[in-house]
Amino acid sequence: MTAKVNPDDVHRVAELAHLELTPQEAQGMLHDLNAILDHVAQLSELDTTGVTPLAQMSELEGAGGAASLRPDVVLPSLDRAAVMSAAPETDRVFFKVPKVIER
Amino acid sequence: MPSETKIAQSYVEKPKTLADLRAGISRGSVKAADLAASYYDRIDQANPRLNVYLSLTQERAMEQATRVDTAAAKGDPLGPLAGIPVGIKDVLVMQGAPTTAGSKILKGYRPPYDATAVRKLDAAGAVLLGKINCDEFAMGSSNENSAYGPVRNPVDTERVPGGSSGGSAAAVAANMAVATLGSDTGGSIRQPASFCGVVGVLPTYGRVSRYGLIAFASSLDRVGPFAANVRDAATMLGVIAGHDPKDATSSPAPVPDYATESDKPAEGLRIGVPAEYFGEGLDPEVRACIEGGIQALETAGCTVKPVSLPHTRYAIPTYYLVATAEASANLARFDGVRYGYRSPASDTLSAMYSHSRDEGFGAEVKRRILLGTYALSAGYYDAYYLKAQQVRRLLAEEFLRAFAKVDAIVTPTAPTPAFKLGEKSGDPLAMYLADIYTVTASLAGICGVTVPCGVTKAGLPVGMQVLAAHLNESTAFRVARAVEAAQG
């Protein structure tokens, strides 16, 4: 857990997250990520062998909650015209985006 | 407005209690329409300096107020919040009202539906004044990360109101609403309530529906109220709590009458004090205030005893891994396709995604998306994300063990009073470390109330955090009432 983030890592992670960073931004992020990950490294002191990860509160016994799934029935969705009117570009049925495949 | 001056000013003004206003409206001695108009006047006066409201929903508010006045005149039954002016943090969607989450990427967005908590307020007769400023996507502890400028603390306008629900806390402190809604992922209700000298509630995870809350970290996000006193906060929670089929994590447990529960004396309750929350980094004046509050609880007949929460020191790293991992996934939806900003300079789909996100997101949001993406990426998942989830269980189980021995745990809400604007904004890690006392309850899913508990020599408010076990809000309210009653 002591891995240092290098400039290539920042570039790769930004690409995964669909973010573009200016060289100056990338520099700042490199510094910040390393500072934060240095702090986070103290978790490795703890022996967590055999501890079941807790991803959701419903997985915690004694917390009074359990996931409550609703019956699988069809219910009306949001009004399509209202949803479409908030989008940057549509043909009123589909969202429109720039060309994906050249032909 | 003297908006250019650098001299700190106070805008503090206490709203009338919800019960008094509600009684006046019911009798007809207070007109909901006049009350709403007076709040819009107050907003006109204070907002240029404090920057609390991002948009006003005057038309909807005045329609509701008129409806309430008509019902009151006819003697029809009124909802529990009939005519009460309320403000909504801008991370909760409101039909037809601009909803930005404090981000440029959602500028101009008008959602097609109401969040469940908003709908419940509306059904209870509340007059929804407008949408309130916050850190971008609720990421921040000072409200300086809003794309629409920082909120100023009404107690001292040169200081931050806290964050991310800084505007919601400031609105109540400055009487720009009787009560407000905020959201809390790692302390975003409790810390600003402490900084502004108001009451803030972190409901149990699942107690209030998250439907219509713009998601930051879904396993941690809560919707909760701010008010000027504990009883009003309890009334607000009673209205917004409850099961919602639209949020699969919402609890089916019945909703107690929190306001009435909060009237019960705290006498006989066992109060735990964890040494881990009183160590290095705690401001001596904050410590003195909290110790005064603990004495007040003893005087009220509580039994105070030490409890041990040794994993507390691991809470910040655990929180920032879990929260950023979830945020990186949740914020993938902002891509210029369905709502919000689309960069005009994009000729391919991939370029449209990255240009829109790059131009739409602020620095802190990008930082957290990058950290979360890194923690989830191949080769690092086990070491970071999985490890954090394991420590999260240790932290949660530690609280469950403590609550077998005590009814409530009291701590400082934040290690310091409100800091100056700009004081921490250049150092993200220093800002994260300020959340030390609030992230633990977030990770454990338990509930809590922060209640004003004295002021520093400079007059800055200090909040005491009262934590209680899952779904045990009533106990937290009772303890907070006792602390409140002991204040001058």
Sequence spans of domains, chain B: 1-310+392-414+438-488
Q: How confident is the model at residue A62 (pLDDT cuts 50, 70, 90)?
A: confident
Q: Nearest C-alpha of chain A: how many angstroms from B390?
A: 4
User: For residue A97, what are its two tokens?
Assistant: 């985006």
Listed as ranges, residues in chain B with pLDDT below 50 are 1-4
With CB atoms and an 8 Å threshold, state whether B320 touches A36: yes
The residues near B235 (Cβ < 8 Å, ≥ 6 apart) are B18, B19, B80, B81, B227, B258, B259
In a domain, A60, yes or no: no
Q: By the CB < 8 Å criterion, does B255 face chain A?
A: no
For residue A99, give the nearest of B321, B348, B361 by CB distance.
B348
Most A CBs within 10 A among B116, B374, B399, B475, hence the mutation to make, goes to: B374
* Bond prior to B55 in cis (omega within 30° of 0): no
Q: Which helix (H) or strand (E) holds B2?
A: none
pLDDT of residue B3: 45
CB count in 10 Å sphere of residue A26 = 16
**For residue A76, is it within any domain?**
no
Confirm or reject contact between B430 and chain A (CB < 8 A): no
Give chain A positions within 8 Å (CB) of B390. Answer: 48, 51-54
Q: Indicate yes or no: CB of B393 within 8 angstroms of CB of A60.
A: yes
> pLDDT at position B426, please?
86
Catalytic residue among B141, B164, B183, B442: B164
pLDDT at site A68: 67
Chain A segment 6-65 residues within 8 A of B by beta carbon are 9-10, 12-14, 16-21, 25, 28-29, 32-33, 35-37, 39-44, 46, 48, 51-58, 60, 62-65
Question: Is there a contact between B36 and B30 (Cβ–Cβ < 8 Å)?
Answer: no
Neighbours of B430 (CB within 10 A): 14
DSSP secondary structure code for residue A46 in this structure: S
Taking the CA of residue B457 and the nearest CA in chain A, the distance in Å comes to 33
**Among B53, B36, B19, B209, CA closest to B133:** B53
* Record: contact B248-A42, CB cut-off 8 A: no
Determine the pLDDT at residue B378: 84
pLDDT in the model for residue B6: 58
Active site residue B74: no
Instruction: Write the DSSP assignment of B226-259 as a string of letters.
Output: EESSHHHHHHHHHHHBS--TT-TTS--SPPP-HH
Give residue A14's domain range: 1-47
Which chain B residues are closer than 8 Å to A53 by Cβ?
386, 389-390, 392-393
Which residue, among B479, B476, B480, B481, has the nearest Cα to B203 in the 3D structure? B476
DSSP 8-state symbol, B273: E
Residues B151, B143 contacting (CB under 8 angstroms):
yes
Q: In CATH, what number is assigned to the domain containing residue A26?
A: 1.10.20.60
* Cα(B418)–Cα(B192) distance, integer angstroms: 8
Cα separation of A73 and B27, whole Å? Answer: 45
B89 is catalytic: yes
- The count of domains in chain A is 1
DSSP-derived secondary structure letter, B127: E
Catalytic residue, from B141, B146, B183, B188: name it.
Answer: B188
Structure tokens that stand for B276 in this block: 């881990």
Q: How many CB atoms lie within 10 A of CB B98?
A: 18
Cβ–Cβ contact B371 with A under 8 A: yes
* Residue B51 identity: N
Kindly identify which residue of chain A lies nearest to residue B404, measuring between CA atoms: A62
Taking CB atoms and an 8 Å limit, are B349 and A97 in contact across chains? yes
For residue B285, give every residue at least 6 positions away whose Cβ sits within 8 Å of its Cβ, in sequence order, or none. B417, B456, B457, B462
Q: Shortest CA distance to B251 belongs to which of B240, B236, B263, B265?
A: B240
Residue B218 designated active-site: no
Give A33 to chain B, closest Cα distance, Å.
Answer: 7
* Residue A39, min C-alpha distance to chain B (Å): 7
Cross-chain Cβ contact A25/B363 below 8 Å = yes
- Answer yes or no: is A67 within a domain: no
Chain A residue numbers touching B346 (CB-CB < 8 A): 98
**Which of B339, B347, B390, B403 has the most A C-beta neighbours within 10 Å, making it the best mutation to test the interface with A?**
B390
Nearest CB to B370 within list A17, A51, A69 = A17
Structural domain includes residue A39: yes
Antiparallel, parallel or unpaired: β B408-412 and B303-307: unpaired
- From the list B188, B199, B186, B205, the residue with the least C-alpha distance to B133 is B188
Q: Of B246, B251, B244, whose CA–CA distance to A78 is shortest?
A: B246
pLDDT of residue B297: 98
Instruction: For chain B, say whether A88 makes contact (Cβ under 8 Å).
Output: yes
End-to-end CA separation in angstroms for chain A: 46
Round the average pLDDT of chain A to a whole number and report it: 89
Q: How many Å apart are CA B373 and CA B151, to the nearest integer?
A: 30
Q: How far apart are CA B362 and CA B424, in angstroms?
A: 17
How many C-beta neighbours within 10 Å does residue A90 have? 17
Q: How far is B384 from chain A (nearest CA, A)?
A: 8
CB-closest option in B249, B367, B397 to A67:
B249
Q: What is the dihedral of CA A19, A20, A24, A28, to 10 degrees?
A: 10
**Which pLDDT does position B2 carry in this prediction?**
44
Record: fold of B1-310+392-414+438-488: Amidase signature (AS) enzymes (3.90.1300)
